[in-house]
Amino acid sequence: MKFLGSGGHTALIYLPHMLAFASFGILLGGVAAMQNACGNGIDNVVLGQTHYLAPVACDRFYSFDWFITFFQGFVWLVLLPVILGRQIHKSRNMSNGLLIVASLLLIHMTNVWYHAWNGVGAVPGFGQGVLTNSYNRRAKVAFSGALIGAVANLLMMIFIGLHDEKATTAERRGGEQRQFQTSYVPTGAMPGATPAHVSTTEAETIGYREGPVATEPAATGTRY
């Protein structure tokens, strides 16, 4: 399985990356719709957002959700050149670090809006019908966007790990070969040492003189 000259595991990451972009668009619509339905009142006390210790106006109440939404879009934008440029193996730690933070935030948002329409919104007449009607449906949109984004980020982390494992192995092998070629030193005698390969004729005559001492090797002679 090939895609743009890469392996099949590289092609798989394009699908969750597109899902992450879709989740960003769904979150934009869901959070904006909920804030529009809430207006500038102080009805958010019924939603139970734990990071707010006191009731606040709706335009401030959704600031944390807006941060999560735009952080998801930021992560998608950062990973776009990394994935298209097939540089995943060089940016694995950075990519997974951003995806981990975005996934945790989206999981938190998923839990909040799930209980908003399935918990509080399921109580008949609670909140004077606000959560059981249009607001309940808008909360489902935000819940869907957060859930899709969290799943997409987790899938990208899995596929980034698969890509890094295989691509890094191939790159490491090529690096070892290049290193061996550049650092190769031919075998032979070191400077100042006696040559290792000496012909038979030279070996028989080196260090010998004619006459009575012809059988005695010279002090510097060496036979191989």
Q: What is the DSSP string of 183-194?
A: T----SPPTTSP
Count Cα neighbours of 101 within 13 Å in the Cβ-side half-sphere. Answer: 15
Alpha-helical regions (H) of 39-133:
58-61, 63-84, 92-115
One-letter amino acid at 118 equals: N
Give the pLDDT of residue 127: 46
Question: Alpha-carbon dihedral of residues 99, 104, 105, 111, nearest 10 degrees?
Answer: 140
- In the chain, where the domains are located: 8-182
- Predicted pLDDT of residue 49: 52
Closest-CA residue to 95 (of 110, 80, 107, 106): 80
Alpha-carbon gap, residue 175 to 170, rounded angstroms:
9
Residue 68, pLDDT score: 93
Q: Is 61 helix (H, G, I), strand (E, B) or coil?
A: helix
pLDDT for the residue numbered 140? 86
Total Cβ atoms within 10 A of residue 153: 30
Q: How far is CA 178 from CA 89, 90, 137, 174, 184, in A?
A: 19, 19, 60, 6, 10
Residue-wise pLDDT tens for the chain (224 aa)? 343 344 545 678 888 999 999 999 999 998 888 888 776 555 554 454 545 555 666 667 788 889 999 999 999 999 988 888 877 777 778 888 999 999 999 999 898 888 776 765 454 444 444 455 677 788 888 899 999 999 999 999 888 877 545 555 555 555 444 444 445 555 655 566 555 554 444 444 455 555 555 555 555 555 54
